[in-house]
Structure formats: structure tokens, C-alpha cells
Structure 1
Amino acid sequence: MVGDEDPTARQLRLLLTLADELHFGHAATRLHLTQPALSQQIRSLEHRLGVQLFERSSRRVELTPEGQALLPFARKVIDAMADLRNTVRRSTLGSDNLTFGLSENATVLAATNSALSMLRELHPTLNISIRVVDFVERTIMLEKGEIDAAFVYLPVSDDLCAQPLTTEPRVVCVSTSDPLADRHSVRLHELASHQVVGLAPEVSQAERSFWAVDPRLDGSAVSYTTHQVTKCEALLSAVSFDRAIAFVPAVTAELYPRPNIRYLPVQDVPPCTFGLAWPASAREKPQIAMLEDMCHRLRRRGVPTGTMQSPGVPQHAVRRNVRRGQRTAGSPRV
């Protein structure tokens, strides 16, 4: 190596993030850095190692062969550092206990089960408890400390921190009596006259707005039903009986097939993200650090979408194919 000092663990984390994104702006955003600061750190790492790790141009960022060869070793170092921290935490805590809240549909998602499996793999002594909760119970139990974290669809309220796991399309569900029910897909403006099923007021404004696609792209007002829904089953019942609509994750069509409901792709609605959330006030707890570490590792490994019976393509593979221009026709950008 050219430099006298070994690379720091922080520099290796920056390397892995940039290698994942292959975009200085996106990587800097994930790392909460400015682009110049990230560029400086990468140049410092290259100087210490005596090799160029990235080919940079005004259009693209690519790993050099030397950079590609270094990635497995960088991951080993970062994982070893995480194992060291986790060992110290376990010895400090004596025993690890984590209680998760999740809705009934999340219990069969491949991402949920992959996350729990990795936690058990990384922390064999971890005591994991599961509480099945609805949209409102989840928030209340997080506030009271009755659960440590929750598997949720983002966004979440401002007093929660979150880590993403997977991304999937949103679809709209309509009653079979709706004139749109025979369509293969719809656009958002075609739903302007439909009422959206109302969620309970205890659900955060960020969540209610996201799942109603409110505001609409054209600025049109969104009309809500008087329902105060707290569960997915009640949401679907309101659609089937009251001719309202609801935007839901695409996996809902597999989990809740109903003869009186149709699930339609919406061509101009952004996707939704599934992940883990916990109170911002608990971020310094050792158990939460375990969760953040697990989420980072799982994303590097690749998180499957869909259910346990029909898992989809790991997210990192989708991102890689998008960068290389190998998107299949109609596949969503991630």
C-alpha cells in the first residue's frame, strides 16, 4: 500500500455503499454525507491502498477490477467488526430480548421471515417474540415500549426510525361491480371520482396520505369514506360493499383473493417499501443496533419479495440489472 495507514472501517463502509449504488449522489444521501465529502474519503481510501477503485465519468461510476476484487474482503472486515460489537453487547446485556409487532399479512412475507432467520443466525441466544397488531395497535405499542420494533410498510410517523427491506408496486383494489373492474390496468386520473377508504385517525398523517395517493399528481382533491379502518380485512370489506377504492401493496392480491374484488396495477403510482421501524428515542439501544446491522447485511445478501410460497427476485439483483440496462419489459424501477 502507498499510505502508511490501514483503511478505516468507515472508509470500507463507504466503499460498500458506493459499490452498491454506483452513484455518488445516491450513496452520499444514504450515508448522510455531502458528495464532496464522500469523494474525498474514497480518494483517501484509494491512496491508502495504492489502487484505483472506481472509474468516474460525468455519466457513470463503475468499479475497477481491483475494486471488484476488494469487495468480498471489505464485507468480511465490516461483518467482523459487527460481530465484535454484538459480542460486547451480548456480554453487557446478559441476554437479548426483542419483541416485534407485525400485521397478519406480514407473517407470511418472505422479507419478514428472511429478517427473523438472519437475526437468529447472527444472534443464536436472541429471544424473539412476535405480537400480531393492527395499524393503530402497532403505533401505541411502540410508544409504550410494549414492542421494540415493527415490520411495516413505509412511510412512518416522524417519531419513528426505519430501515427499508424490499420494494414492490402498489395496486388499487376495486369492487367487481365497478366499471373499471374489467380493465387490465388504470391510470391515476381515472380514479379521481372514487372515494378512498378512510383509515383510523390514529394512523399517522404520512401513512394516510401515502396510501390514498394524496395529493394527486394533477392537484385534484381526494375524497374519503367515513370508515376508520385499522385492519386489512376491514379495508377490503369496505371496498367490496361500499364501492370505494384502496391502494395496497401488490402482494395483497396473493394474500387476500376475493371473488368480489379486483386488484389492478396503476401505471403512474410510485411503489411502496416494506421494512422495519422503531422509536427514534430507542435508537441508541444495543438491540436496535442489532436490527440496523441485520438490515444492512440482509440488503447486501438480497431480500426476496412476495410471500414464502412465491418469493420474488432479491432487491439487490433488481437494482444491478437496472444499472446494467437489463430491465425486463414492464418491470418496475427500484
Structure 2
Amino acid sequence: MHQLRLFLALAEELHFGRAAARVFISQPALSQQMRALEERLEVSLLERRGGGLRLTAAGEAVAEQAGEVLGAMARLLQVSATHAGAVRGKLRVGSLGAEAAMPHARAVLARLRSRHPDLEVEVLNLNFVEQFDALAGGAVDAAFLRGPLPSGFQSVELATEPRVVCLPADDPLAGETELSLAQLADRTVVDMPREVPRLWWDHLTVNPRPDGTAVRFGPVVRDTEAMVLAVLQERAITFLPAAARQLYPRPGLVYVDAPELGNSVSFLAWLPANRDVPAVRALRAAAHSARPPVADGT
């Protein structure tokens, strides 16, 4: 099929140099491919006369049929791709901070690429303010997020891990192997902008605490990088998934276990209206096959 495409270009240009430039190969390579095609068909397709290039009678007949053959092959590939479930086009996937770098997200994207190599996948980094709005507003087609999720989304749970306390290394509690919420009662906690759903952040900061005490919030940040810097610079604390130990190690920061915080849950989320869009459906299938879901909102 490749040789037929090259031959058609040459049949139209009747010039090796122009045809080679048109199909982005060298002139010697084009000549070699034409000789191989003639050997395969056992017929001469080209001849030089008067310093020019012409098609032989056989070449004219082959050129006439080659277009139909290539068109038929294109239709065959399209039909087979449809039945095989191959997806083309573009998929925009949001990632809250470093979520797309997590092993479970990488596994999903790798499975998607292996099944749909012609699908262009763009991963967009989202901060705390953008994460839900980008999905709800259509800026992304799906997103790797941390729970709890708004009720308007559908999702598949990908992974769980413990949550930890992030605090300055010179904090008196930094040397502990495990901390309770009671021990952290007088610490200032990094806060979120007002655009971030308050129920989401209150849940993650356990506000109010089990004894009814309200959390004392401090510096406001929009992303995880700014969050860890706020802990360093403004003497605050925050709570993060345990993976932050590897993703956000910083001199002067310490991560300490805190069982009362519970687990952090990773999700792939999408809008119900988009669940059967071919690219989103392919991503959902990749998520299910890459890791069996624990909880599925589909």
C-alpha cells in the first residue's frame, strides 16, 4: 500500500525530485521503492524518454486502479476500527496537581494509549480552584481528582492511601511518629480560596474537630506547591495524601502519620452527560481494566 501511494504521487508529478519532496522521502529511496513495486507486480511501470519520465501502458493501468485500491483500503480500515472500538480525536484530561503522575493514573493513561493509539490525550494541570469548575464547565472531558467529589459527577475510584500531616521540621511535634487531632488543636491550618467548595475543604481538614472545636485557618493557597511553601514560610500545617512524601519533599518540611485523618481517595471523574462520548467511554474502560474499581458512580 505504501508503494502504491508513492507510485500515485510519481504518476501525477512525472518527476522523481518533485514526487520525493511531496512524499517527504529522498529521491534514491523513491527510486528504490518503485523498482521494488515493479518487481512485485512483474511489470515495467515507468520509462524515460527525451529526458522526461512517462508511464508505460501498464503504468497507466496500474495508476488507474491504485486510487481505487487505496480508497477501498481506507474504508476497510475505518470499518475495522469502528468494530474494534478504536477511538480517534482529542481527549482533555484534568489533573489536580500531581495526580496524573501517580501510579494509578499512569496505568490508566498507558492502557488508554495502548488501546487507542490514534487518540490524542492532553493532560491539563488544575489547581484547587479550577478542579471542579474545569470539569463542570467543559474545559476538560474528565479529571483525576481527590475526594470527596460533588454530587453532580460520576466517577470510578482508583486508589486509596493514608493522609499525613505536613508541618515545619522545627515544630515540636515534628519528631513524633504519629499525631492525633488533639495534638494539632492549636496549629494554624492552610486555607483555600473562597471559590473552593467549603464542604470539600472542611471535610479534608476535619473542621470542626470531633470535640466541636473550629479549625483556625491561616494562609490561603491555590495549589499544592503554594501549600507546602506556606507551611514553611508562615508556620502553618496542612494535611496531604501520603504520596506527598515523594511528590513534595522539601528541606524544612516533615510529614507525620495521623490515623484520625483517614484515607485520601483518588478518582477519575466525568460529567454524566459525557459518559458515552467515545473518548470518555474509552477512558472509563481503561480505568476499569487498569484497576478494578472499589466504588463506581457509573
Q: TM-score range by the shorter chain?
A: 0.5 to 0.7
Tell me what 2:150 maps to: 157
- Write the distance in 1 (CA, Å) between the matches of 2:135 and 2:158: 19
- Write the distance in 2 (CA, Å) between the matches of 1:284 and 1:109: 26
- Write the distance in 2 (CA, Å) between the matches of 1:228 and 1:282: 33
Alignment partner of 1:256 is 2:248? yes
Cα drift, residue 108 of structure 1: 2.5
Tell me what 1:210 maps to: 203
What amino acid maps onto 2:134 in structure 1? M
Alignment RMSD (CA, Å)? 2.3
Residue 108 of structure 2 contacts residue 283 of structure 2 at CA under 8 Å; is this kept in 1?
no
Structure 2 length as normaliser, TM-score? 0.65
What amino acid maps onto 1:148 in structure 2? D
Cα drift, residue 172 of structure 1: 0.5
- Write the distance in 1 (CA, Å) between the matches of 2:150 and 2:202: 11
Alignment partner of 1:148 is 2:141? yes
- Write the distance in 1 (CA, Å) between the matches of 2:229 and 2:130: 20
- Unaligned 5+ residue runs, structure 1? 1-85, 303-314, 316-334
Alignment partner of 1:243 is 2:235? yes
Q: What aligned pairs does 1:105-116 form with structure 2 within 5 A after superposition?
A: 105-116=98-109
- Aligned CA distance change for structure 1 residues 161 and 204 (closer, same or farther; 3 Å): farther
Answer 1 or 2: higher relative contact order, Cα 8 Å, separation at least 6: 2
What amino acid maps onto 1:294 in structure 2? A
Tell me what 2:274 maps to: 282
Identity, in percent, stands at 33
Tell me what 2:128 maps to: 135
What amino acid maps onto 2:266 in structure 1? F
- Write the distance in 1 (CA, Å) between the matches of 2:164 and 2:236: 14
What amino acid maps onto 1:132 in structure 2? N
Cα drift, residue 271 of structure 1: 0.7
Cα drift, residue 89 of structure 1: 9.2
- Write the distance in 2 (CA, Å) between the matches of 1:286 and 1:264: 43
- Write the distance in 2 (CA, Å) between the matches of 1:205 and 1:156: 12
Aligned match for 1:168, one of 157, 161, 171:
161
- Aligned CA distance change for structure 1 residues 119 and 196 (closer, same or farther; 3 Å): same
- Write the distance in 2 (CA, Å) between the matches of 1:188 and 1:239: 17
- Write the distance in 2 (CA, Å) between the matches of 1:218 and 1:142: 35
- Write the distance in 1 (CA, Å) between the matches of 2:91 and 2:84: 14
Give the structure with the larger strand fraction.
2
Spell out, residue by residue over 1:130-152, the C-alpha distance to the aligned partner (whole angstroms, 9 max, x if none): 11221222333223312101111
Residue 167 of structure 1 contacts residue 271 of structure 1 at CA under 8 Å; is this kept in 2?
yes
Spell out, residue by residue over 1:144-194, the C-alpha distance to the aligned partner (whole angstroms, 9 max, x if none): 312101111111222222211011110001112321011111112111111
- Write the distance in 2 (CA, Å) between the matches of 1:189 and 1:160: 34
- TM superposition outliers: structure 1 runs of 4+ over 4 Å: 86-91
Tell me what 2:110 maps to: 117
Alignment partner of 1:296 is 2:277? no
- 1:259 is paired with a residue whose SS is coil
- Write the distance in 1 (CA, Å) between the matches of 2:90 and 2:155: 19
Residue 211 of structure 1 contacts residue 246 of structure 1 at CA under 8 Å; is this kept in 2?
no
Residue 89 of structure 1 contacts residue 286 of structure 1 at CA under 8 Å; is this kept in 2?
no
Tell me what 1:229 maps to: 221
- Aligned CA distance change for structure 1 residues 153 and 284 (closer, same or farther; 3 Å): same
